[in-house]
């Protein structure tokens, strides 16, 4: 671990523009389970694809039941060492913006301006109408969901309201994809942290950055398919790896 941290420290010192790309693994130490690890969310529940959510009130009800079952976990989570290390580098001017697959709002909570967090898969801390896009806070949803455990419809247009996340089968957000591509192609150090790098198209950004000439670092406690492209692979715990870079 120490040699990896030292090497990462040298890469960070040499870099002018660092772009981090984060996945669920950066948040496990905060108590939010990832998808694919043992005990991860997928080992418990099959994800509900977007077309099912659209087609079925039962699917919508189930989706909101699951969301509210996780409510305390999300509400209690505080940024971990990984989040705080990245926020330190952001404050130091090394990181212009961060690309994340996470939906937990913890990069914003650690000090990133909302406009500098590029959320490829949306955000689960609020809701949106899938028709007109009107945003709702979860309190609004909860008061309507609780009496009969039924997912609510938009008060503006009548279409279903869903967490503001991107489900499987749902279109990727265009502006975010565009900004993520630009950042990936205009950095000199790209650090992929806590992602199994199997969810596409998000998983394409590390390789895009490498092809555009950036150094690529992968920090993940298990191997990924992209390790072969990396200049440095740190196969260790994220909190331990990034803890030394926290500056409060
Ligand atoms: P993933 O679950 O597929 O992969 C997470 C990776 O992180 C795994 O390879 C795991 O071994 C590793 N990991 C977990 N804890 C670690 C630690 N402490 N140190 C080092 N490595 C660790 O997650 P993904 O690649 O982000 O893709 C899954 C999708 O799940 C994303 O699209 C995201 O939207 C969604 N998701 C988000 C959250 C969140 O917001 N916190 C949580 C679960 C799922």
Q: What is the dihedral of CA 185, 189, 195, 201, to 10 degrees?
A: 10
Q: What is the pLDDT of residues 134-165, one digit of tens each?
A: 999 999 999 999 999 999 999 999 999 999 99
ipTM of the complex model:
0.93
- Mean per-residue pLDDT of the chain: 95
Distance of alpha carbon 78 from alpha carbon 109, whole angstroms: 8
- Indicate whether residue 24 lines ligand 1 (CB < 6 A): yes
Please report the sign of the dihedral spanned by the C-alpha atoms of residue 174, residue 176, residue 180, residue 182: positive
Q: What is the pLDDT of residues 68-92, one digit of tens each?
A: 999 999 999 999 999 999 999 999 9
pLDDT of residue 43: 61
Sheet holding 117-119: strands in order across?
117-119, 98-100, 18-22, 189-193, 215-219, 232-234
- Residue entry with tokens 């309507």: 144
pLDDT of residue 248: 78
- Indicate whether residue 25 lines ligand 1 (CB < 6 A): yes
- Indicate whether residue 220 lines ligand 1 (CB < 6 A): yes
- Indicate whether residue 119 lines ligand 1 (CB < 6 A): no
Alpha helices, DSSP H, located in the chain? 2-14, 41-44, 50-55, 57-69, 71-76, 81-91, 106-110, 138-145, 174-185, 205-211, 238-242
pLDDT of residue 42: 62
Alpha helices, DSSP H, located in 70-211? 71-76, 81-91, 106-110, 138-145, 174-185, 205-211
Mutate to test the pocket of ligand 1, among 24, 50, 219 (most ligand atoms within 8 A of CB): 24
Domains defined for the chain, CATH in brackets: 1-30+78-119+172-248 (3.40.50.1220), 33-76+122-165 (3.30.1600.10)
Q: What is the pLDDT of residues 199-221, one digit of tens each?
A: 889 999 999 999 999 999 999 99
List Cα–Cα distances, 17 to 81, 184, 189, in angstroms.
Answer: 21, 10, 7
* pTM of structure: 0.95
pLDDT of residue 170: 95
Token code pair at residue 146: 């609780």
Q: What is the pLDDT of residues 168-183, one digit of tens each?
A: 999 999 999 999 999 9
Write down the catalytic residue from 121, 186, 211, 229. Answer: 121
Contact 157, 134 (CB under 8 A): yes
Q: Which residues of 94-119 are buried (b: 16+ CB within 10 A; e: fewer)?
A: bbebbbbbbbbbbbbebebeeeebbb
- pLDDT band of residue 38 (cuts 50, 70, 90) is low
Q: What is the pLDDT of residues 43-59, one digit of tens each?
A: 667 899 999 999 999 99
Report how far ligand 1's centroid is from the alpha carbon of 161 (Å): 25
Q: What is the pLDDT of residues 94-139, one digit of tens each?
A: 999 999 999 999 999 999 999 999 999 999 999 999 999 999 999 9
Asked about 186 being catalytic, the answer comes back as no
């Amino acid at each position: 671990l120490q040699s990896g941290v030292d090497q990462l420290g040298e890469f960070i010192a040499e870099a002018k523009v660092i772009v981090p790309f984060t996945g669920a693994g950066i948040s496990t130490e905060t108590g939010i389970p990832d998808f694919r690890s043992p005990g991860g969310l997928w080992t418990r529940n099959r994800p509900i694809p977007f077309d099912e959510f659209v087609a079925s009130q039962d699917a919508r009800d189930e989706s909101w039941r699951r969301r509210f079952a996780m409510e305390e976990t999300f509400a209690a989570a505080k940024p971990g060492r990984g989040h705080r290390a990245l926020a330190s580098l952001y404050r130091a001017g090394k990181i212009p913006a961060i690309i994340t697959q996470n939906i937990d709002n913890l990069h914003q909570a650690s000090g990133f301006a909302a406009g500098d967090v590029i959320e490829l898969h949306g955000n689960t801390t609020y809701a949106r109408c899938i028709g007109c896009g009107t945003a709702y806070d979860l309190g609004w949803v909860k008061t309507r969901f609780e009496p009969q455990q039924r997912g609510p419809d938009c008060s503006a247009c009548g279409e279903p309201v869903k967490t503001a996340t991107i489900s499987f089968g749902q279109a990727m957000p265009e502006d975010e994809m565009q900004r993520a591509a630009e950042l990936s192609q205009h950095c000199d150090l790209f650090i992929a942290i806590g992602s199994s790098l199997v969810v596409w198209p998000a998983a394409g950004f590390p390789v895009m950055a490498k092809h555009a000439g950036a150094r690529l670092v992968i920090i993940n406690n298990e191997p990924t398919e992209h390790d072969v492209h990396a200049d440095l692979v740190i196969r260790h715990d994220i909190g331990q790896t990034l803890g030394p870079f926290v500056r409060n």
